[in-house]
Amino acid sequence: MEDVKRMALLGEKFPSMEVVTTHGVKKLPDDYAGKWFVLFSHPGDFTPVCTTEFVSFSKKADEFKKLNTELIGLSVDQVFSHIKWIEWIKDKTDVEVPFPVIADELGRTASALGMIHPSKGTNTVRAVFIVDDKGVVRLIMYYPQEVGRNVDEVLRSVKALQTADKNKVAVPENWPNNPLIGDKVIIPPVATEKLAKERLEQAQNGEIECFDWWFCYKKL
């Protein structure tokens, strides 16, 4: 793995690294060129909260694929432990884990991505990195070991990011179920007085909706 000086920040390229997974050796982000991916870490195999997350991610895997998005798990356990735990999940819950899980035994990947927080122990916290099809980090989430993630929120975030990119808009809180503007999207604010006036004229003509010139929105 490359020597990473600090974790990648939003808008930066995901650091190049070679990792050992339950699906063999992979190079990140190169092996996922042209695809989005969600890399998420869990504190440890054979633990209850992590098991519930893996079941949920597995059940939603096809929905992520429809968004051209792959899932990748990670913990500091050995690959043998990952394989046995995946077998256990299939045997006990009848859910098959379809995505690779990184075996980060030495903690290099976790350290490079800021997944190990000393005050929370030596295992990885529940980190989520959403990386776009150009290998750029677009969203980062951290959860403590004692609180499981909301997989639907991760899926919603991918949809929101892709919608924002495709339509050059922003999306509101809890889109597409925002209590103020519903499933509508926010039009980027203007930067001149002339454009502000034009924006309000557009609203008067019914082309868009506005609370004011700086807060306008529309239906896709």
Which residues are the active-site residues? Answer: 50
Q: How far is residue 176's CA from residue 198's CA, in Å, rounded to a whole number?
A: 27
**C-alpha pair distances (Å), 34 with each of 30, 38, 187:** 9, 14, 27
Q: How far is residue 196's CA from residue 167's CA, in Å, rounded to a whole number?
A: 20
Q: How many CB atoms lie within 10 A of CB 9?
A: 9
Which residues in 171-209 are b (16+ Cβ under 10 Å) and which e? bbeebbebeebeebbbbeebeeeeebeebbebbeeeebe
Max Cα-Cα span within the chain: 65
